[in-house]
Copies of this chain bind each other. A is one copy, B any other.
Amino acid sequence: MSGIGVIATIRVLPGKEAEFEGVFAELAPAVRANEPGNSYYKLFRTADAGVYKVLECYDDEAAIAAHRASDHFRTLGAKLGPCLAGAPEIESMPAV
């Protein structure tokens, strides 16, 4: 099976959780609606306070590049930035 999975671990500043979740609620449907090379994009709250994980899947590296270059990701990503405690940690994994 083809594809590339991504687990993005995101640490949010204390008190910024609601703002982060609100922006992400705009971002996730924009990704699914506008990126034909994306097949999964969903946000989860981990057991650690302020730590989230996004589970993602793309058809190929070109689809990941298209995601990062998209207007919605750049516009909404700029709104997410002030909520973050640091750069997201990205794990990429080929599908089996």
**A positions within 8 Å CB-CB of B:** 1, 3, 5, 7, 21, 24-25, 28, 40, 42-47, 52-53, 55, 57, 91, 93-96
Contact = CB atoms under 8 A, between A and B. Distances in A.
A12 to B, nearest CB: 11
A94 B43 CA distance: 9
A5 B96 contact: no
Given A40-B55, A55-B57, A57-B55, A45 B94 contact: yes
A46 to B, nearest CB: 5
Contact of A96 (B3, B52, B91, B93): B52
B93 A53 contact: yes
Taking each of A1, A5, A96, which has the highest tally of chain B beta carbons within 10 Å of its own beta carbon?
A96
A5 B42 contact: yes
